[in-house]
Amino acid sequence: MSSVWMPCGDYHQSYAEDHGWWQTRFIKFKMLLLLAVIFVIIPQFLSGYVMSVASMVGYTAMGALGVQLLIGYTGLVTLGHAAFIAVGAYTSTLLVLQFPWPQWIMDAGLAYPISVLVAGVFGGIWSVLFGLPSAKVKGFYLILTTMAAQFITVDFILTQYVSRIGGRGQAFSLPPGTIKVGPWVIDSEREVYYLMAVILTLMVIVLANLLRSRVGRAWVAIRDNDIAAETLGINIVWYKLLAFFVAGFFAGVAGGFWVSNTAALSPEHFPWFWSLWLVGVILIGGVGSIHGAIFGSFFMVVIMELLQVGVIPLADYFPKLLMSFASLKEMAFGLAICAFLIYEPNGLAYRWWQAKNYFNLWPFSY
């Protein structure tokens, strides 16, 4: 007899039951409560500043999901993920501003949604291009290959050529009302937050379902032991390139979202430090966990915002402190990574897993 309240009393008879999303009524209640918090409580009761911070958390999580897929689930180290986000952002911007859409598409507000999907595809293809060396190399050499993607894409192609299209110099201006999804104009912090929440929810659902499929099991097998995986008949080259494509697709969609959150787009939005930042996010959140990408994004964005809030009042007494905030931010980032690697190497997702198990197994938890 199965229990409604305690997962330890559920006995599954099939793989589908064992990997079901909402296995008990309590889990369904928790998920519905989470959706209510995301889509109702935060937009209705919190200020525009808090929603802008939440949108930044979501944007960081979008990029971190792709890095988590490559590093946490497939074992492919990447330090150039910001390049694929940049490809998506510029693809979406060029399609919205430069492409001669039919008038009915413009009137229906479909140009931007289509551009985000195309940005994801272009980001995926570009990611596969730099993921090709993963068929022959791994570890340190793969790190250098992905770093090359950052410098070739952002510092050379985008800065020297793409950003100059249309005689705009170094930045693309996005006038108000440019970003539309059907009749919905994305022109305020609230609308940007809603768009982020929808996109991030869809990305989490897609990745979670992929990881529960044959593809996800192949990725984990390659991460654990690629030689054994190949011996078992897994085409490791195909699955590695597929991981790069999916990660690049997520990055491209994240870049397409970023277009809605800025008035002007330039290569300065995608420095190499952003790629390093995303790796740090999953290290802090927990490697090999979707929760880790989200928890790490929340932790890093909120900590940096709190640091900035704490620095601003001191600016009257120490003017140079505000000017050197970027250095303080990088120092805090490094200290956070070191602290987590020493004291919490499994990340925040592990603590979340412990808390859930303690609650679910109470009063028999250890």
Average pLDDT over residues 34-53: 87
Evaluate if residue 52 carries a pLDDT over 80.
yes
pLDDT band at 363 (very low <50, low <70, confident <90, very high): low
Q: According to the model, what pLDDT value does residue 355 have?
A: 85
Average pLDDT over residues 263-290: 91
pLDDT band at 2 (very low <50, low <70, confident <90, very high): very low
For residue 180, give the nearest of 107, 253, 117 by alpha carbon. Answer: 107
Q: According to the model, what pLDDT value does residue 120 have?
A: 96
pLDDT single digits (tens) 216-257: 999 999 999 989 999 999 999 999 999 999 999 999 999 999
**How many residues are listed for the chain in this entry?**
366
Query: In angstroms, rounded to a whole number, what is the distance separating the alpha carbons of residues 285 and 297?
Result: 7
More confident residue, 22 or 121: 121
pLDDT single digits (tens) 289-320: 999 999 999 999 999 888 877 766 666 666 66
Ordered domains of the chain (ranges, CATH): 46-361 (1.10.3470)
Evaluate if residue 91 carries a pLDDT over 90.
yes
Q: According to the model, what pLDDT value does residue 311 have?
A: 67
pLDDT single digits (tens) 321-356: 656 666 777 888 889 999 998 999 899 999 988 888
Evaluate if residue 80 carries a pLDDT over 80.
yes
In the block, tokens 């940096």 appear at: 304
Q: According to the model, what pLDDT value does residue 57 have?
A: 95
Query: In angstroms, rounded to a whole number, what is the distance separating the alpha carbons of residues 324 and 314?
Result: 12
Question: What average pLDDT does the chain have?
Answer: 86
pLDDT single digits (tens) 140-190: 788 888 899 999 999 888 888 887 776 555 677 787 778 888 888 888 888
Q: According to the model, what pLDDT value does residue 140 have?
A: 79
The secondary structure of 117-134 as a DSSP string is HHHHHHHHHHHHHHHGGG
For residue 245, give the nearest of 133, 65, 120, 86 by alpha carbon. Answer: 120
**Coil, helix or strand at residue 26:** helix
Q: According to the model, what pLDDT value does residue 322 have?
A: 59
Peptide bond into 100 cis (omega under 30): no
How many CA atoms are closer than 13 Å to the CA of 267, on its beta-carbon side? Answer: 20
Average pLDDT over residues 66-82: 94
Residue 134 burial (CB < 10 Å; 0-12/13-18/19+)? Answer: buried
The secondary structure of 227-295 as a DSSP string is HHHHHTT--HHHHHHHHHHHHHHHHHHHHHHHHHT-SEE-GGGS-HHHHHHHHHHHHHH-TT-HHHHHH
Query: In angstroms, rounded to a whole number, what is the distance separating the alpha carbons of residues 350 and 132?
Result: 33
Evaluate if residue 65 carries a pLDDT over 80.
yes
Q: According to the model, what pLDDT value does residue 366 have?
A: 54
Angle at 156 between CA 323 and CA 120, to 5 degrees: 95
Query: In angstroms, rounded to a whole number, what is the distance separating the alpha carbons of residues 70 and 223?
Result: 9
Residue 222 burial (CB < 10 Å; 0-12/13-18/19+)? Answer: buried
Angle at 351 between CA 348 and CA 357, to 5 degrees: 145
Evaluate if residue 203 carries a pLDDT over 50.
yes
| Tokens found for residue 177 | 């009302």
Average pLDDT over residues 113-122: 95
pTM above 0.85, yes or no: yes
